[in-house]
Each structure stands twice: as structure tokens, then as C-alpha cells.
């Protein structure tokens, strides 16, 4: 939405609204803006959540895995977890065969990866970005 529309919604004029938005950006509360793209329409028909277990959880090994994952465009989200699974990755692919190629060529062959458990997304019933402010 435009700054003018936002200002109208919150009941202030545009200049102070813009100053407040800029202050929130500078403070790190607003980290960026994005378009909500339809993955399927852009050729990414498959979404998989991969639970990755590492052989070593030493901090240097965790950071090395995170740096490697950051280079893979198919991985859209990466979360380090407590418990049995070390990382949960959200991965998109054109089709199941493409995912399997990614899995064998990159993920399972990556240094320190001990095991991977894949869960194919059948349908997404909710996808809400951000946090529930004032809802």
C-alpha cells in the first residue's frame, strides 16, 4: 500500500507516517518488502519440507551448513531446530524428479549431512507472513 493509504488507515498525515515507517525500518522491525508470488504459476509445482540431521552439531559445522544452504536457490527457508532434527528446510522444485536430483546431488551429499527425511506438501491451507499484530 502507499504511504498515503497507510497514513489514512492509521489516522495521521503522510509525512509523519513516512517518518515512522522509516524509523521502524532503521530499527530493524521492518526488514523488507516482497511480492507474494504464485510458485506453481512460475513453474515450481513441488514444495518439500526436508528434515536434516547433521553428524556434528559443533558451532563451526552448523555455520558451515548454513552458509552452504544459503547458496542453494531452491531452499526458500532454513530453520535450525532443537531436538532430533537439526534443520528444517523448505525447498521448491519444478517437479518431483527435480527435487530428487537436488536431494541426491546437493543435500544428501553435502558435508556433515547424516540423514534427510522429506515431506512432500500436498496442499497449503494457510500461509501468513509476519507476526499476528493486533489480530
For 48-95, the pLDDT digits (tens) are 999 999 999 999 999 999 999 999 999 999 999 999 999 999 999 999
Average pLDDT over residues 1-9: 92
Helix (H, G, I), strand (E, B) or coil at 56: coil
Does the pLDDT value for residue 135 go beyond 70? no
Does the pLDDT value for residue 1 go beyond 90? no
Does the pLDDT value for residue 134 go beyond 80? no
Looking at residue 28, the DSSP 8-state letter turns out to be: T
pTM summary value:
0.85
> What's the grid cell of residue 5?
493509504
> Could you tell me the strand order of the sheet in which 75-80 lies?
75-80, 87-93, 46-54, 113-120
What are the Cα distances from residue 29, in Å, to 16, 93, 109, 119?
17, 31, 37, 32
Q: How far apart are CA 130 and CA 34, in angstroms?
A: 12
Amino acid at each position: 500500500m502507499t504511504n498515503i493509504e497507510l497514513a489514512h488507515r492509521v489516522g495521521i498525515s503522510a509525512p509523519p507516517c513516512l517518518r515512522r515507517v522509516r524509523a521502524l525500518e532503521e530499527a530493524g522491525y521492518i526488514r523488507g518488502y516482497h511480492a507474494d508470488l504464485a510458485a506453481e504459476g512460475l513453474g515450481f509445482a513441488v514444495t518439500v519440507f526436508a528434515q536434516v540431521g547433521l553428524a556434528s552439531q559443533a558451532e563451526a559445522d552448523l555455520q558451515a551448513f548454513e552458509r552452504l544452504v544459503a547458496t542453494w536457490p531452491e531452499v526458500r527457508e532454513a530453520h535450525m531446530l532443537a531436538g532430533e532434527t537439526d534443520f528444517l528446510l523448505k525447498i521448491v522444485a519444478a517437479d518431483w524428479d527435480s527435487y530428487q536430483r537436488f536431494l541426491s546431488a546437493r543435500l544428501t551429499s553435502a558435508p556433515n549431512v547424516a540423514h534427510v527425511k522429506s515431506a512432500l506438501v500436498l496442499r497449503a491451507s494457510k500461509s501468513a507472513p509476519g507476526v499476528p499484530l493486533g489480530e
